[in-house]
Amino acid sequence: MEDLKTKFMKAALKETQKAYEAKECPIGCVIVKDDKIFVRAHNLKLTKSNALMHAEVIAIDKACRKLGDWRLNDMDMYVTLEPCTMCSGAIIQSRIRKVFFGAYEPKSGAVCSCNDIFNTEHGHNHFVEYEGGIMEKECSDLMKKFFLEMRDRNRRDTQENGN
Amino acid sequence: MEDLKTKFMKAALKETQKAYEAKECPIGCVIVKDDKIFVRAHNLKLTKSNALMHAEVIAIDKACRKLGDWRLNDMDMYVTLEPCTMCSGAIIQSRIRKVFFGAYEPKSGAVCSCNDIFNTEHGHNHFVEYEGGIMEKECSDLMKKFFLEMRDRNRRDTQENGN
C-alpha cells in the first residue's frame, strides 16, 4: 500500500498540472490535517497578476478561512518545490507543524538551499520541521518541461521579431 | 514644510490607530507611487483569523489588484515596524523599490535586526533598499501602550480566575 507521504505528494503533483495548464510555473501544494487533505492550491501569480499568489500562500489563506483560525498548529504542508522566503515566513506565521517538499530550489529555496529560515527565524516559540526530496524527480520533471517550453517560446518570439 | 518621508510615515501611523481600535497589534503601512499614496493597510490578523493578514501583505495585495500587475517596481513602502520574514519575502516577490520603516523589531525583524533578508535573498535580480528608524518613537509608542494594556488585561483575567 502507498504510504501517506507519497499519497499527499501525488495530490500536490495533481495541482502542478492545473498550474501548468494555466501557463503558470507548475507548483502545487496541499495542507493535511488528521491524515486528510484539508486544502489544495496551485501557483496563480500570473493568472491573478499578484506577487503573493504562490501555491503555499494560497493554501495557507484557504486553510485559515476554512478553519476560522490563524493557527494551523496540527497541520502539515506538502509542496512540490522548496518554498521561497515569503512562503517560508508564511509557514512560520501560520504555525504549520511540518513541511514536506519535493524538488530542491537552488536559486531561491529558503528552507535549506539558499537560506535556513526555519532555524534562523527568531521571536517565535515555534520551529517548523521539514523533509525535502520527496518524489523529487516527479516534482521537477514538469517544471523542467515548463522552462524548456518557455525558453523555446522566447527564442521563437525573438526570431519572429527579427532580433 | 514637512518632508515626504514624514508625510508618508504619518499616513502609516494613522493606520496603526485603526488597528489599535480593532484590538490588533498596531502596525500600519502605505505604499507610495509617484509621490502619492497608492494604498493603505493595517494589521488585521486577529480580526480576519488569518496568519497572512499583516499590514504589509494586505498592502501588497491591494496594490497588485489596483495596478493589475504583480510587479510594483516603482513603488515604495512605508511601514511603522520593521517587517518580519514573510513580509520581507513578499516585498522582494513584488519588486518593491524601497522600504522605509519606523521602529526596529529586535525579536523578529527580518530586514536588519534578526536577519538580513534583502541582502541574502538569492535568485532575483532585484535588491530592495531600506531605511529604518523613521519617526521611531511615534511608531513604537502605540505598540508599547498596546502591549502594556494586553499584559494588564491578562493579569486581571488570571486574578479573576483565582490562579
Q: What is the ipTM of this complex?
A: 0.94
Q: For residue B144, what is the enclosing H or E element?
A: helix B136-160
pLDDT over 90 percentage in chain B: 82
Amino acid making up residue B10: K
Amino acid making up residue B79: V
Q: Does B59 have pLDDT greater than 90? A: yes
Is the CB of B60 inside 8 Å of chain A's CB atoms?
A: yes
| Residue A119's pLDDT band (cuts 50, 70, 90) | confident
Is the CB of A65 inside 8 Å of chain B's CB atoms?
A: yes
Q: Does B14 have pLDDT greater than 90? A: yes
What is the structure's pLDDT at A1? Answer: 63
Q: Is A160 a catalytic residue?
A: no
Q: What is the DSSP letter of A112?
A: T
Q: For residues B101 and B134, is the Cβ–Cβ distance under 8 A?
A: yes
Q: How many other β-carbons are positioned within 10 Å of the β-carbon of residue A4? A: 13
| Residue A160's pLDDT band (cuts 50, 70, 90) | confident
> Among B23, B150, B152, which Cα is nearest to B160's?
B152
What is the structure's pLDDT at A123? Answer: 59
Q: What is the mean pLDDT of residues A18-46?
A: 97
Phi and psi for B95 in degrees, rounded to 5?
A: 65, 25
Of B45, B108, B123, the CB nearest to A124: B108
What is the structure's pLDDT at B137? Answer: 97
Cite the DSSP H helix spans in chain A. Answer: 4-21, 55-67, 85-93, 117-120, 136-160
Is the CB of A45 inside 8 Å of chain B's CB atoms?
A: yes
Q: What is the mean pLDDT of residues A131-159?
A: 92
Q: Does B157 have pLDDT greater than 90? A: no
Say yes or no for a CB contact (<8 Å) between B51 and A65: no
pLDDT over 70 percentage in chain B: 95
> Among A128, A35, A163, A22, which Cα is nearest to B86's?
A128
Q: Which residues of A touch B67 (CB under 8 A)?
A: 49
The pTM score is: 0.94
Four-point Cα dihedral B102, A92, B46, B6, nearest 10: 10
- The edge-to-edge listing of strands for the beta sheet with A98-103 is A36-42, A28-33, A75-81, A98-103, A129-131
Q: Which residues of B touch A25 (CB under 8 A)?
A: none
Q: What is the mean pLDDT of residues A39-50?
A: 98
Q: Apex CA A70: angle with CA B111 and CA A94, to 5°?
A: 45
In total, the C-beta contacts within 8 angstroms joining chain A to chain B are 127
Q: For residues B105 and B84, is the Cβ–Cβ distance under 8 A?
A: yes
Q: What is the mean pLDDT of residues A44-63?
A: 98
Q: Does B58 have pLDDT greater than 80? A: yes
Give the separation between CA B76 and CA B91, rounded to whole angstroms: 10
Is the CB of A115 inside 8 Å of chain B's CB atoms?
A: yes
| Residue B46's pLDDT band (cuts 50, 70, 90) | very high
Say yes or no for a CB contact (<8 Å) between A84 and B93: yes
Location of C-alpha cell 523613521: B134
Say yes or no for a CB contact (<8 Å) between A52 and B60: yes
Q: Apex CA B70: angle with CA A114 and CA B107, to 5°?
A: 45
What is the structure's pLDDT at A120? Answer: 79
* Burial of A123: CB neighbours in 10 Å, binned 0-12, 13-18, 19+: middle
pLDDT over 70 percentage in chain A: 95
Maximum mean pLDDT: which of A116-130, B17-31, B116-130: B17-31
The mean pLDDT of chain B is 94
What is the structure's pLDDT at B1? Answer: 63
Give the mutation candidate from B31, B45, B52, B81 for the A interface (greatest A CB count, under 10 A): B52
Q: Does A10 have pLDDT greater than 60? A: yes
Q: For residue A40, what is the enclosing H or E element?
A: strand A36-42
Q: For residues A14 and A57, is the Cβ–Cβ distance under 8 A?
A: no
